[in-house]
Structure 1
Amino acid sequence: MAILPIRITGDPVLHEPARPVTVFDDELRTLVSDMYETMLAAPGVGLAAPQVGVPLRLFVYNYPDDDGTERRGVAINPELWLSPTPTHEADEDSEAEGCLSVPGERFPLVRADRAILRAVDLDQNPFEIEAEGWFARIFQHEYDHLDGVLYVDRLDFLYARRAAKVIRKAGWGIDGNFWTPGIDDLEG
């Protein structure tokens, strides 16, 4: 297993739709294992393949429920259904999101409260998960990465301006920026 470099906004792989996974082999198993290790080292609760430079439709997640039960898995070639997104303004405390590809920053974003994820696992077994609250948010965030969308692309005008300023000031928004958990002093 290895900790992989995480691409920062501006890298083309983050801003283009990913391709479906068609080959389920040891190379894919290694990628998924490395992605878990990278996600946990970051630390994060989800990581999509494009974030580590691989333009494939898969993400890993690790989310502890309120009772402490870990919900951990990989979603390959996922489909996502959402409840209607509320129309209220984003709450800076309860709806602030971060992203390992915009490290160290958090901005509020309104998301659907419920989601149904359908995907396959490493053995190509189909599964379905109904998620609510933050677990549903994680699925939406990671699924967006597979479509070439970062959460900062979805922010309301005021927060989008703030995010753009942070990205410019950090020298991001161009190809070639990355960070490696455990080596670089960044967090998302």
Structure 2
Amino acid sequence: MILPVVLYGHPVLRREAEEIDEDYNGLKELLDDMWQTMYKSDGVGLAAPQIGKPIRLAVIDADVLSDEYPECKDFKRVLINPVITEYGEDECVESEGCLSLPGIREDVKRPTKIKIEYEDENFEVIEEVLEGFVARVVQHEYDHLEGKVFTDHLSPLKRRFLKGKLAAISKGKVNVGYKIKTA
């Protein structure tokens, strides 16, 4: 089932998400719904808070970016209860967008390398070192689980310039090809 994507301004996007365990009711169906919602919305990642669920769960399929970023090839993951345990020192600036902030793309500086520990859909513990754009995608989704959005990484001046657009998004005044939900 395709779920509505929660837009900027909804309080769930500012809440730190809670861990889940293998007894979480309806997890398989929720994951199926998240994949469908992400693909229908043309996203490469979707965190549970973006569909109104304040839990530490995200899905990512970055393979569509592999022509430009080879490290994204075959990168399809379910991240349950992820924790970024290390950030590399090198940083790079790249353009980012977000399904919850439609129509806004901005350059964001992030570390180019991370180490992350998470559980997969079978609750097997995985530890990975990720580099390049795939590390950026994971950090973007991870931010959602921490109650952050990518515009939080912008300068105060840049955020001030975006104030009108963000206000319009929070009121649902956007034209997108997917279901949305405001506060």
Q: Same fold (TM over 0.5)?
A: yes
- Which runs of structure 1 show a deviation greater than 4 angstroms over 4 or more consecutive aligned residues? 177-185
State the alpha-carbon separation in 1 of the partners of residues 137 and 160 from structure 2: 23
Alpha-carbon distance change, 147 to 138 in structure 1, aligned in 2, over 3 angstroms: same
State the alpha-carbon separation in 1 of the partners of residues 118 and 151 from structure 2: 25
Alignment map for 1:110-129 (pairs within 5 Å): 110-129=109-128
Alignment map for 1:65-80 (pairs within 5 Å): 65=66, 66=70, 69-80=73-84
Match of 1:82 in 2: 87
Match of 1:103 in 2: 102
- SS for the counterpart of 1:99 is coil
Match of 1:155 in 2: 154
- SS for the counterpart of 2:128 is strand
State the alpha-carbon separation in 2 of the partners of residues 127 and 60 from structure 1: 15
* Unpaired stretches in structure 1, ≥5 consecutive residues: none
> Is contact 1:85-1:110 (8 Å) kept?
no
Aligned length: 174
Percent identity reads 35
Alignment map for 1:50-65 (pairs within 5 Å): 50-64=49-63, 65=66
| Distance apart, 1:34 and its partner CA | 0.8
Alpha-carbon distance change, 101 to 148 in structure 1, aligned in 2, over 3 angstroms: same
State the alpha-carbon separation in 1 of the partners of residues 72 and 169 from structure 2: 38
Quick one: which amino acid aligns to residue 32 of structure 2?
S
Match of 1:143 in 2: 142
State the alpha-carbon separation in 1 of the partners of residues 31 and 80 from structure 2: 10
State the alpha-carbon separation in 2 of the partners of residues 120 and 78 from structure 1: 7
- SS for the counterpart of 2:19 is coil
Taking structure 2 as the reference length, the TM-score comes to 0.85
Give the CA RMSD over aligned residues: 2.5
State the alpha-carbon separation in 1 of the partners of residues 138 and 48 from structure 2: 14
> Is contact 1:6-1:178 (8 Å) kept?
no
| Distance apart, 1:131 and its partner CA | 1.2
| Distance apart, 1:32 and its partner CA | 1.0
